[in-house]
Copies of this chain bind each other. A is one copy, B any other.
Amino acid sequence: MSEDLVRRMAALAVEVGANVQPGQVVGMGCRPGTEPLVRAIAEAAYRRGARFVDVGWYDPHVKRARLRHAAEDTLEWVPPWYGERARALGEMRAANIALAGAVAPGLFDDVDPARAGRDRLPSIREFTEVIMSGRLNWTVIPCPTPAWAALVHPDLAPEEALARLWEQVAHICRLDEPDPATAWAARGRELKDSAARVNARRFDALHFRGPGTDLVVGLLPTTTFVGGGETRDDGLPFMPNLPTEEVFATPDPLRTEGVVASTRPLDLAGTLITGLTVRFAAGRAVEITADTGQEVLRARAAVDEGAARLGEVALVDSSGRIGALDTVFYDTLLDENATSHIAIGAGYPMGAGAEDAERVNTSAIHIDFMIGGPEVDVFGRTAEGAEVPVLIGGDWRV
């Protein structure tokens, strides 16, 4: 990739994504291989007046050593300073920038899945809580690395694969627009309009129908689709994900019923989950099967009461830039914005009204998986039981 492209990606993360403010501390979450973008983001943040950029690194190879050799009863232990850092970032109203991308796919394939499921790092409960509290302005953006590029474009030579992935990511992130900030503002307005149209219908549930999928996701009385950007609890706007092509909401954790087949593979921090099918009853994932990674996902879904219930339902129409590329990126940030998806685990408070705040699902985990696509249609079920087309063949009908 060119230095200029890296610099523009950094500017997007700092100015449009996290919207870093003068005097802010900026937390980062990164992995080896992302150094060029990390350094460019640090420079952009300091130029914008950041007080300090604290780069947190996560190396999946070090985690692999733990999963293979550490004593069984230590695998859930997390150093207390990890949580202290997260809480302090919240207290300071810090910014946070995380870099997404497949890390080291298949790295844990020869690890006992039950052991892999017990170590949830780099995800930590306190950070999830701080994110959910609305005290951070934060963003997750993709950062191509040679390892990720090799996974997505296995037929290309290493340098070509990396260049091709950067090109795709630049397109997806609208860096090929004259002014990416303006382009994202426009796309944000479109997403807010779509969300408003869905919300106006006050559906009681959404019904997903497609190959292997017949799933009804019950909604709360105040379930609210949001998207196209958020605001911190004090009103500071930011874009939690770049790219973002979704409108998402917090469903009723007690009322999901039926079967759903995942339409894209999911890379769960080194474990590739393919051929996933989940059966829900009374809101709980009571049966999880997969061609690969089944035990790891089962272990995650068992970490607490909320881990087997839905925290998110998201609708993605076909007008976004990711689905059109017809590429599996093996990375949730990109793949979830290619198509409609659901997530088990913690729900976002902003996806429902304050009256239902107590009913939003809580959990230490939040795992998205992709269930949409051109063959999966989405209907809204009204309080009276009628079904109204919402997304048909990927196109909005509301």
Contacts and interface: CB of A to CB of B under 8 A. Distances in A.
A57 B57 CA distance: 7
Interface string A188-224: 0000000000000000000000000000000000000
A47 B77 CA distance: 17
Contacts of A54: 79
A346 to B, nearest CB: 23
A340 to B, nearest CB: 37
Contacts of A70: 46, 50-52
B51 A74 contact: yes
B55 A42 contact: no
A25 B84 CA distance: 17
Contacts of A81: 81, 84-85, 88
A74 B52 contact: yes
A19 B66 CA distance: 18
Interface stretch (A31-39, A130-138, A245-253, A315-323): A31-39
Interface residues of A, number: 35
Given A46-B68, A46-B69, A77 B52 contact: yes
B62 A38 contact: yes
A302 interface: no
Q: Do most interface residues of chain A lie in helix, strand or loop, or is the interface mixed?
A: helix
Contact of A49 (B71, B79, B80, B84): B71
Copies in the complex: 2
A66 B79 contact: no
Interface in A20-73: 25, 32, 35, 38-39, 42-43, 45-47, 49-55, 57, 59, 61-62, 65-66, 68-71
A10 to B, nearest CB: 10
A74 B52 CA distance: 8
B65 A52 contact: no
Contacts of A49: 71
B57 A62 contact: no
Question: Among the interface residues A53, A69, A71, which one has the most CB atoms of the partner chain B within 10 A?
Answer: A69
B53 A65 contact: yes
A50 B75 CA distance: 11
14 contacts: A32-B32, A32-B35, A38-B59, A38-B62, A39-B59, A39-B62, A39-B65, A42-B61, A43-B69, A45-B65, A46-B66, A52-B79, A81-B84, A84-B84
The 9 tightest CB contacts between A and B, nearest first, are A46-B69, A81-B85, A43-B65, A42-B65, A57-B57, A39-B61, A42-B62, A51-B74, A46-B70
Given A38-B62, A47-B69, A81-B84, 17 more contacts: A32-B32, A39-B62, A42-B66, A45-B65, A46-B66, A46-B69, A46-B70, A50-B70, A51-B70, A51-B71, A51-B74, A51-B77, A52-B66, A52-B77, A55-B59, A55-B62, A79-B88
